[in-house]
Amino acid sequence: MAAAVVAMCLVACAPTRPPRAESDAAVVAAVEAVPGVDGVLLSQYTAGLSGSGLTMKVFLDANGQGDLAAVADEVIGAAWSAVPYEPEGITLQALPGPLPDGARFGDSSDPGIDLTDVASRLGLESDDDSGSHLGSAGTSLHLKQAFLSARYGAWNDPG
């Protein structure tokens, strides 16, 4: 009986999240509004008790690739502001556009554009205490909640 009561309390206390399609649509609209972005594919992940996060594959046109650090910074900020739940982290991968017709997140694709300079311009250090880091191949940025809050401000529910 006690276990049932505890389980009911945990379910009742769990934060409510909008449906995934609604959540994805809000982030896609915000990210695609950034100049230089041709399209975006999203995937949400669960990080156990830490919560959920967001992984983005952002396709950039020639302008977006020109000042990659500025565009990446704006894309991450847009996603952080638009996601309707407080993400435990955001992962970014940038690819040359355009977004292929019918592309899905899990499709095999180009490994992406090197983001080493982007990480440096964002102030991401290799020994970042937040757990944020540049992926080993240099083509993905993994930004944890502490880094995102420090750079873009505390997350506010956009709803």
Domains identified in the chain, total number: 1
- Residues 98, 39 contacting (CB under 8 angstroms): yes
The CATH number of whichever domain residue 93 belongs to comes to 3.30.70.1350
Summarize pLDDT for 83-105 with one digit per residue, the tens.
998 999 999 999 998 988 888 88
| Assigned domain for 55 exists | yes
Of 47, 157, 149, 69, the closest CA to residue 113 belongs to: 69
| Assigned domain for 12 exists | no
| Assigned domain for 1 exists | no
Per cent of the chain over pLDDT 70 is: 82
List all residues 6 or more positions away from 3 whose beta carbon is below 8 Å from its beta carbon. none
| Assigned domain for 52 exists | yes
Mean pLDDT computed over every residue of the chain: 84
| Assigned domain for 141 exists | yes
Summarize pLDDT for 53-68 with one digit per residue, the tens.
999 999 999 888 899 9
| Assigned domain for 66 exists | yes
| Assigned domain for 88 exists | yes
Cα Rg of the chain (Å, integer): 17
Per cent of the chain over pLDDT 90 is: 54
Tokens of 121: 């311009």
Residue 66 lies in domain: 20-152
Is pLDDT larger for residue 117 or for residue 48? 117
In this structure, how many other beta carbons lie within 10 angstroms of the beta carbon of residue 156? 9
- Residues 153, 146 contacting (CB under 8 angstroms): no
pLDDT at residue 109, rounded to an integer: 65
Residues of the chain by 3-state class (helix, strand, coil), percent to 5: 40, 20, 40
pLDDT at residue 18, rounded to an integer: 53
Q: Does the pLDDT of residue 2 top 90, yes or no? A: no
Of 12, 55, 59, 23, the closest CA to residue 141 belongs to: 55
- What number of residues does the chain have? 159
| Assigned domain for 116 exists | yes
Summarize pLDDT for 7-26 with one digit per residue, the tens.
454 444 444 545 556 668 99
